[in-house]
A and B are shown apart, each in its own frame.
Chain A
Amino acid sequence: MSSKRILLTGLSTYWGGRLAQALERDPAVEAIIGVDRRPPKVELHRTEYVRVTDSHSLIRRIVEAAEIDTVVDTRLVVDSIVTTPRLAHENNVMGTMNVLAACGGEGNPVRKVVFKSSAHYYGAEQDDPAFFTEAMDRPHAPRTPIERDIVDAERAVREFALRHPHVTVTVLRFANGLGTALRTSLSQAFGLPAVPAILGFDPRFQFIHEDDLAGCLEHAVRHDLEGVYNGAADGVLVLSEVAGLLGKQLAPLLPPLGTSLAASVLRRAGVRISPETLGLLRYGRGLDNRKLKATGYRYRYTSREAVIKLREHQRLAAIVGDSQEAYRYERDLEEFLRRSPSVRPTARRPAPAPSNLAPGERRAGLAPATRGSYDDLGADELIALLPSLEPAALAELAVHEREHAARPEVMKAIASLQGWEARA
C-alpha cells in the first residue's frame, strides 16, 4: 500500500518535523496533517498543522474528514526529564489509546499505523542479552515509570494490531537518539565537562542519529513493514569510548551502591540523570538492528559517527553559541502563504534546507554569494531563490543563464517574475 494521506502526531518534535519535510518532497503524498500541542519547530510548506490540546479523540474527526490512510504516531515521551511522570503517563498511555481508537472501527480509512517506541521497552538489567532482538521480551518487569508507560503503550498497539488485521502496524523501537536538536538526559550528561559514570562500570551504549530517526520513520511510511523493528545505528560503544570521542574524561561520580540516592543529590546540583538512564549507566544495552536493515534501510551514521557529530556541535556551540535562528510558527503567515491567491505558486514550492545542521554547515543552505555558484544549483533550487533577488540582479542572472545552462524552466520562471515586477 502506498501512503497518500498521512496524519502525523508529535509534529513539534524534531523527527516529526523532519518526517513531514521529507514527505512534502514526495509528490505522491497528497496530504500531510500534523497534530500536536505545540506548533512545529521547522519550516513546512504544505503540511497542515492542527493544534490539538488535550483530547486526542479529536483526531478521529480529522482522520475521517481528511480520509487519512496512514497514521504516524511519534508523540511518545521516552525521557523522564522532559516532563512530569503524570503528564508523561497521560501522553504515553492515554494518548496512545486515543490515537489507536481514532485509527480503528467500522469504515475507518486508516490502513497503516507507524508507532514510534523506544528501546527502553527492553530495560537494562544484569541478565540481559548483549543484543536485544525484536522477538525478545524484557526479562524483568519495568522499574521506572517511563519504561512502564512504554510497555503499556506497546501492549495497546499490539492489541490494536491483533484486532485490525487489515491495518499494517509498524512499531519502531529506537535506541538513544543523538543530535543537535535533541535534548535528552543523555545529551545533557554528554554536554557536561566530564561524562558521569557509575564507579566500576563501563556500560555499552548504542545510539541513533536524529537524521536516521526521521529516516527510519520515513522508511516505515514508504514500505509496508509489519511488526516490531529495532532502530539503532551500527556499532555499540562503551561509555569510556564515548567519553574519548567527545574529548572528555569519564567521571565515576556515582557510587555502585546507593546510586539512585547519589543521583538525587546530583539532581539538586543541576545534573539531571533520569532513572531509566541510571539503569543504562550500570548495565548498558545493545540492540540487534538487522531486521530493519534487511528490509532495505541503510543507516547514514554509525553510533560512533553520531557521537562525533555531537562533539562537533558541542565545540561549535561553545564558540558561536546556539546560533541557529529558531524557526517560529506564525499561524496567520502560514495561512496567508498557503491560501492567499496573491502568493505566486513558485513561492509555495518546497525548498527545505535541513534544519539540523551544525552552524558551520549551514552555509550550504544560504543563498550563494557569487554568480558562478548559481550553476551548481538545481533548477528547482534556483527557482525557489529567484524572488529574493533584486531586479538588477535578476536581469544579470537572466543573461548569465541564457549564456550558460539555458535551462528552459529557469528562463521561464525569470521571465514571468520580470513581467510580474514590471506590472507592479
Chain B
Amino acid sequence: MAEDRRTSLAPAGEAAPGTDLRPYLPGVEPERQVDDWGRSERIEGLMDRTLIEFFYRLWFRCEVEGIENVPAEGGALLVSNHSGALPPDAAMITKAIKEEHSHPRPVNLTVEHFFKGYPGFSMLLPKIGAVPAHPANVHRLLYDERALVLVFPEGRKGTEKLYKDRYRLRRFGRGGFVEAAMRARAPIVPIAVVGAEEAAPVFAQVKPLQRLTGLLYFPITPTFPHFGLLGMLGYLPAKFKLRFLPPVPTDDPAFGDEPWEDKALVQTLAHEIRATIQDELVDMLGARRSVWFG
C-alpha cells in the first residue's frame, strides 16, 4: 500500500490555534502490516489476489471507462450507485482503480456504523479498507490523509431495494457527502455501475428474520439464505460496466468561503450528482444488449 502520503515532517515550535495539523500525522512504521484505521495489507492483498481477482476478471468481466477522471493525487470523494445483497460494486470499483489507473491508490470504503457492532463484520471489514461513515472519518481521510474515499449516498436504501426497482436511484441522504467534500475541498467523482443489480438480485426482504438475526436487512436472493452465509457471495455472472465521470469541483470560488453552511447549495449539488449518475445509468442501460454479455 502506498504510504508515502503519511510521512511526518513536523516543524518544531509552538503552534497557534487553528494551525494546519496535517504535518503532524503519525509517521509510517514499516514493520507494521496494519495501518491506523485497522486496514491490513496482508488480508487485503490476499482477498485482492484471489476472490476479487476472480470476480473482476472472470466472473463479472469488468469493463472500465473514464478511469482518468479519478485524480492521481490528493483527496477525492468517489460517489456511486449501490445495490445487491452483499454489494459487489465497492470491491469492483476499488479493483478497477488498482488495475486500470496510472497511479493506483487504495480506496477507503465507508460503511454503516452497524458493521462495527456486528461480530465478524467488525473484525473483517476494517481489514479490507472499510471505515465507519462518520463525517470526522471522511474528513480526516479526504483532507488530512489526502486519500480516495468511496461513498454510497443511497446507503441502506440502495442495498435494500428490490430487483423490480433496479437502477432507480434512491434519495441521496441529506447531502452529507457533498458537505464532507466541501469541507475537505476535495472533488467529487461520480461513478455509474451497471451489472451489480443483476449479479445479486434481491427478490424480497423478510422483516421478521431481519429482526431475529439483528442484521441490517434480510434479503432473499437466488442463493441466500438457502445456501447459508456463503450464499451471499453467490453472484450471478452479470457483465459489469463501470463508468467514472468527470470530477465535480467543490471549491468553486462562486460557492463562497464556507459553502457547507449553505444547505440549499449542498442539496443542489447532491441532486445534480444524483441526476448525473441516473442519466448515465439510463444511457448505459440503453446501450446494453445483454445482461450477461454487455
Contact = CB atoms under 8 A, between A and B. Distances in A.
Interface of A: 126-131, 133, 136, 198-202, 204, 223, 234-238, 241, 256, 282-283, 286, 288-291, 293-296, 302, 304
B126 to A, nearest CB: 8
Given A198-B119, A199-B119, A296-B13, A129 B38 contact: no
B29 A294 contact: no
7 contacts: A200-B118, A200-B122, A202-B122, A236-B37, A237-B34, A238-B126, A282-B117
Interface string B127-155: 10001101111001000000000000000
Contact of A304 (B14, B31, B116): B31
Contact of B14 (A126, A241, A296): A296
Secondary structure dominating the interface of B: loop
Interface string B1-26: 00000001010111100010100111
A133 B136 contact: yes
A282 B27 CA distance: 27
Given A127-B132, A237-B34, A302 B29 contact: yes
A130 B145 CA distance: 13
B123 interface: yes
B120 interface: yes
Contact of B123 (A126, A131, A200, A302): A200
Contact of B113 (A127, A131, A204, A291): A127
B132 to A, nearest CB: 7
A294 B23 CA distance: 9
A294 B14 CA distance: 7
Nearest to A206: B36
A199 B117 CA distance: 12
B136 A293 contact: no
Interface in B15-70: 15, 19, 21, 24-27, 29, 31-34, 36-38, 40
Contact of B116 (A133, A198, A283, A294): A283
Nearest to A202: B123
A375 to B, nearest CB: 33
Given A235-B26, A286-B36, A201 B136 contact: no
B113 A293 contact: no
A238 B34 contact: yes
B29 A235 contact: yes
A288 B134 CA distance: 15
A204 B25 contact: no
Contacts of A283: 116-117
B137 A130 contact: yes
Nearest to B117: A126
A310 B12 CA distance: 29
A294 B20 CA distance: 9
A290 B20 CA distance: 10
A291 B123 contact: no
B140 A295 contact: no
Contacts of B25: 290
Nearest to B123: A202
A241 B116 contact: no
Interface of B: 8, 10, 12-15, 19, 21, 24-27, 29, 31-34, 36-38, 40, 113-114, 116-120, 122-123, 126-127, 131-132, 134-137, 140
A180 B54 CA distance: 49
B123 A130 contact: no
Given A133-B136, A283-B116, A283-B117, A293 B123 contact: no
Contact of A294 (B19, B123, B131, B140): B19
A295 B21 CA distance: 11
A201 B123 contact: yes
Given A129-B136, A202-B123, A294 B38 contact: no
Given A126-B113, A130-B134, A283-B116, A241 B10 contact: no
A130 B140 contact: yes
A289 B10 CA distance: 13
A236 to B, nearest CB: 4
A223 B14 CA distance: 9
Given A136-B136, A302-B26, A256 B36 contact: no
Contact of B122 (A201, A286, A302): A201
Contacts of B122: 200-202
Contacts of B29: 235, 302, 304
Contacts of A202: 38, 122-123, 126-127
A241 B42 CA distance: 12
Nearest to B137: A130
A136 B32 CA distance: 28
Contacts of B113: 126-127
Contacts of B24: 290, 293-294
A241 B34 contact: yes
Nearest to A257: B119
B16 to A, nearest CB: 9
A234 B32 contact: no
A238 B114 CA distance: 19
Contact of B15 (A136, A201, A295): A295
Nearest to B8: A234
Given A127-B113, A129-B134, A290-B24, A204 B38 contact: yes
Nearest to A130: B137
A136 B134 CA distance: 12
A236 B140 CA distance: 15
A237 B35 CA distance: 8
A237 B131 CA distance: 15
* Most B CB within 10 A of own CB, among A136, A256, A289, A290: A290
A234 B27 contact: yes
A131 B19 contact: no
Contacts of A304: 29, 31-32
Given A126-B114, A130-B36, A282-B117, 13 more contacts: A127-B132, A130-B132, A130-B134, A130-B136, A136-B136, A202-B38, A202-B126, A204-B36, A234-B8, A235-B32, A236-B37, A238-B38, A241-B33
Q: Which 9 A-B pairs have the closest CB atoms?
A: A200-B119, A234-B26, A294-B15, A129-B136, A290-B24, A256-B119, A126-B117, A290-B21, A236-B36
B36 A235 contact: yes
Nearest to B33: A241
B97 to A, nearest CB: 22
B26 A128 contact: no
B119 A130 contact: no
